[in-house]
Amino acid sequence: MSGTPSAAATPTPPRVRSVTVTDDTLTLDLDDGRTMSVPIGWYPRLAHGTMEEISNYEISGQGQGIHWPDLDEDIGVEGLLLGKKSTESPASFERWLKKREKQ
């Protein structure tokens, strides 16, 4: 094979432009024109949050993720595109729920 090897391009995941959260769906509008929705049940902390808590989010990492400070939840766009649900262990989630009940 002759010639100069070319560098492989590393694709950059699309970035979040806007977020909509309802009582059963998390919907993202991405900068590549796609809109994606996933069940809120994929993320138990969001599913157990109040509408006020789930409405209080920040687009983080220059659009690569979403952070909910009131719920201590972070979700990355790349994981959503791959169909990944929350990886929080049941024990960790139970501790989080108990801490909320005490507040």
Q: Which two tokens stand for residue 11?
A: 């694709």
pTM: 0.83
Please check the confidence at residue 3 and state whether its pLDDT lies above 80: no
The per-residue pLDDT for range 51-98, each reduced to its tens digit, is: 999 999 999 999 999 999 999 999 999 999 999 999 999 999 999 999
How does 48-70 read in b/e, with b if 16+ C-beta sit within 10 Å?
Answer: ebeeebbeebebeeebebbebee
CATH architecture of 16-102: 2-Layer Sandwich (3.30)
The per-residue pLDDT for range 10-22, each reduced to its tens digit, is: 678 899 999 999 9
Please check the confidence at residue 44 and state whether its pLDDT lies above 70: yes
Helix (H, G, I), strand (E, B) or coil at 23: coil
